Structures are given as C-alpha cells and as structure tokens.
Amino acid sequence: MNTSNPSRRFSLILILIIVAALGGVGWYVSQQGTMFGSSTEVSPATTSPQNTESVAAEPEVVITEDSTQIGEFTGYYEALEREAWGEMTTCHTFVVRKGAPKLTQYFKDMVQRGNTVQSVTEQGQLRINLPWADVPEADKAVIQVSASSSPITLSLKKIVQIGTDASACHSFFSYLRIEP
C-alpha cells in the first residue's frame, strides 16, 4: 500500500487509534462488569429492592462457627413440619440442588455430627432453614412458588453461630437476594 499520500497516512493512523481505543474500552468493560448498575436495582424476578452486597466465589478460607461467608444456592422452597420441645412448627426451608460447595459441605457435616437445625433430604441434598422474617414479602412469594422443576438461586450469607439450643426453624444465614 502506498502511504506517501499524507491524507492516506493520516486516515490509516486514525483507524489504528480508533481500533486500539475500542479494544481498550472492551477490555475495561469486561474487567469491570456492568458499568451502569444501580445500588437499588430491582431484579425482574421480584419487586423488592435488592441487597447489593457482593456475591463472589467462595474464598479460600476455612469455614467455622465464627466465620461469615456469602454463597449462592440454587434449589427450591419446601415447608417442613418440625417438632421442637413438644411443639409442632412450620419451617420455611430451601432444598439445595447446587450451591457454594464449601458452605454446603460444612452444613452437611454438621447434620452428620448430629446438628438438627439443618437437615438432609432422602436424596442427600442439604435442606437449610431460611431466615423467613428477614425475607421481603415480594421475594417470599417468588421463593414459595419455586419447585424442583423450577428452581431459583438465592444469595445467602452465613452468620456467626452463637450458642446452643436453637429453635427448630433457626437459620444460620441472613437473606441477601434472589439472583436473576
């Protein structure tokens, strides 16, 4: 190609600069995620404002009673009748089909050691008690219509476990949001 013509040389340089700039912007956006998110963005699955606490991959830490971790859990709602101290109560639970591996295994291990707050289904899936009083009403409706054939994903945060003699429906989690 003959680049002795100044206008051609200028055009070629301008095209190269534009391509480099677009590539840089594309890379930046891919590294930053959505640039135009809002801290009160509403998920299409629910009408309640969403908690914006970051949900990241499980950190490389040991999970203990004193630790807090955030995890995503995919599964479905199940109301479960339980007896505690001679009284029957209905617990709002979530059957985990897949989820944060370390948190799931931590709570399955608790069940195996005799902890009766969480439970495991006949198929070996973790069943966790949801912090039902903390779930917004609009989200409760979405959660309650989930089923094994139409699972949803919840973001939950493991809270510090304090004491013993928890109620039958006690949750070791705080509720963050339904993931879109």
The pLDDT of residue 37 is 34
Are 146 and 125 in contact, with CB atoms under 8 Å apart? no
**Average of per-residue pLDDT values in the chain:** 77
More confident position, 36 or 2: 2
The pLDDT of residue 1 is 52
Among residues 129, 142, 107, which one has the least CA distance to residue 173?
129
Q: Is the pLDDT of residue 137 over 80?
A: yes
The pLDDT of residue 23 is 59
In eight-state DSSP terms, residue 48 is: S
The pLDDT of residue 80 is 94
Calpha distance 130→53 (Å, rounded): 18
- Return the minimum-mean-pLDDT range out of 15-24, 119-128, 133-142: 15-24
Are 104 and 126 in contact, with CB atoms under 8 Å apart? yes
